[in-house]
Amino acid sequence: MASAIWDDIAMDFGNETVNFGPREEIGSALYQVNTMANIATKDKVESSPCLSGTVAGTYLCVAVGQQLSLFSDTISRFISTLSFEYEIDAVTWIEDTDFVLVGDSSGTLSVISISTERTLFSHKLLSETNLEKAFESIKAFCDDTGQLKLLVLDVNGILTLFEGLNIVAIIQAMDIKDFAAVIMIQDKMISYKCPVSVSSAVAICDSRVIVTFWVCCFLHSSANLYLFEKKSVNFELHVVSNF
């Protein structure tokens, strides 16, 4: 059955109470809540869609189902909605660039240019997926030479660090339709897997290079907080605490 298309964007609501009714708040309200935008579908909804989003420089990117909607950072202006073949699991911004990464339920990672509103290239990153969900979270970092580092956590708790993907070189090759060069660049990417099952991870960066990252791991009935450091081609593991 075809998924609902979430591309019905509404803005400029005017009176909040008239449109959405009174808000239920507890305690003293020392703030004001304004609805800036509403993303809806005109189709019949069979199940709740996956939701994700990111602030990308001067833009806001919100993914609902298979659609990615782009807004200005103040959400005062709607830009465009991009559609994908599969449900979007995760969206993240490559800091100081015009690009966002979109991971979908097929295990494919796509690089999107916000200013041109187009997909620059896609790469099958995760091979073992059930098409329901593949990515739990994606963290991305790009150095001055265009080398992209990805910290990817999949739904099975496998945390992988991907290195060696030159995003600048790929985009240049795509512009001149040199697809052989694109494949050669992608083949240079290498990966390192975390040795334990992971529930969440936070990267700690130094000069845009991943040096260490915190990982929360659930093993059996206990939870452990680890600190990993990348040493050459391996990970060095430090147990920080368990609880």
pLDDT at 53: 92
In the DSSP assignment, the letter for residue 20 is: H
* C-alpha neighbours within 13 Å on the C-beta side of residue 114: 28
Average pLDDT for runs of 10 along the chain of length 243: 85 70 66 80 90 90 94 85 94 88 92 86 79 86 78 83 81 84 82 70 51 52 58 52 49
Q: Is 187 helix (H, G, I), strand (E, B) or coil?
A: helix
Sign of the four-CA dihedral 10, 15, 21, 26: positive
Q: 210: which strand partners? A: 205
For residues 166 and 156, what is the distance between their CA atoms, to the nearest angstrom?
Answer: 27
pLDDT at 217: 55
pLDDT at 222: 54
CA distances from 63 to 36, 50, 100 (A): 16, 8, 12
The amino acid that residue 84 corresponds to is: F
Other residues' Cβ atoms within 10 Å of the Cβ of residue 226 = 21
pLDDT at 83: 94
